[in-house]
Amino acid sequence: MSLQEKKAVFSILSSLLILGGYFYYTFGIHADENLPLQDNVQFWASFTLTMIVVTIILKIIAHIIFNIILAATNEGEDPEFMDEFDKKIELLSDRNGNYIFVLGFISSMIPVAMGKPVYYMFLILLIGGFVGGTLSDLWKIYYYRKGV
């Protein structure tokens, strides 16, 4: 597995762990406080904003740990370096991931239009963002293996 593929796999795993952990923290450990608020728009807005900040901070920490591990294994390649092949693959996979997110965004409007509770909208939005990001990384692995 190449360095670029390892980066994509690590990104998928870290996203899964961070989001899973955050959801477990909010709706598992603090379920008594948060579950009654699931119809409250203010709760979902603060939940989403906090999740974005937490995800960014933890992703940076995970990124640093990943780079330390790479330096320790002594692969001799700069993990931050991107050439034209990497940039083309990133553009293609990000485009595909963004299509999924837009699909999720449009789908999130459907339950609101049907008069369903507001948490459906936020959940579909969050799932759309997560699936879009994960598929974007999976497409990276696919493009690295199959070529562009």
Residues that bind another protein (CB under 8 A): 2-4, 76-77, 81, 83-86, 143-144, 146-148
Q: Do 20 and 98 contact (CB within 8 A), yes or no?
A: no
Minimum CB distance to another protein smaller for 54 or for 92: 92
Helix or strand or coil: residue 19?
A: helix
Minimum CB distance to another protein smaller for 41 or for 148: 148
In terms of DSSP H, where are the helices of the chain? Answer: 3-24, 31-34, 41-73, 84-113, 118-146
| Minimum distance from residue 13 beta carbon to another protein (Å) | 20
Minimum CB distance to another protein smaller for 86 or for 94: 86
| Minimum distance from residue 85 beta carbon to another protein (Å) | 4
Q: Do 26 and 18 contact (CB within 8 A), yes or no?
A: no
